[in-house]
């Protein structure tokens, strides 16, 4: 089972895999693999039930519920990042027109 802190770490690593910098993306997936190994898990344990094995859960949740939670958290982080990016862009525009 993975605790909430470990799930958050995995989400952050998975987000880094979308980086345009190949080295950063590769390092993120390697770190995610190491995190799974440290927790005695495989990707199949996270993504789906395979071969009739019991789903991996967190605090009594089924793997489906854990996956739904992961998706919700990823979407929330993506929304927060987009909002932060919009605020930064607005601030840059405001600073750019400061002396004009």
Q: b/e for 1-21, b at 16 or more Cβ within 10 A? A: ebeeebbeebbebeebeeeee
Range of the domain at 80: 4-96
C-alpha distance from residue 32 to each of 6, 12, 14 (Å): 10, 9, 7
Query: For 31-64, what is each residue's pLDDT tens digit?
Result: 999 999 998 888 877 775 445 444 455 556 666 6
Query: For 2-40, what is each residue's pLDDT tens digit?
Result: 777 888 888 889 888 888 889 998 999 999 999 999 988
Number of domains in the chain: 1
**Do 18 and 40 meet the contact criterion of CB atoms below 8 Å apart?**
no
SS3 letters across 52-96: CCCCCCCCCCCHHHHHHHHHHHHHHHHHHHHHHHHHHHHHHHHHH
Global pTM exceeds 0.85: no
């Amino acid at each position: 089972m993975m605790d909430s802190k470990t799930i958050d770490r995995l989400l952050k690593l998975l987000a880094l895999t979308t980086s345009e910098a190949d080295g950063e993306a590769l390092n993120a997936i390697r770190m995610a693999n190491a995190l799974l190994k440290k927790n005695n898990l495989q990707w199949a344990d996270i993504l789906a039930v395979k071969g009739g094995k019991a789903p991996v859960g967190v605090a009594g949740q089924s793997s489906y519920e854990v996956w739904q939670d992961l998706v919700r958290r990823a979407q929330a982080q993506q929304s927060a990042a987009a909002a932060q990016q919009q605020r930064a862009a607005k601030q840059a525009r405001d600073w750019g027109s400061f002396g004009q």
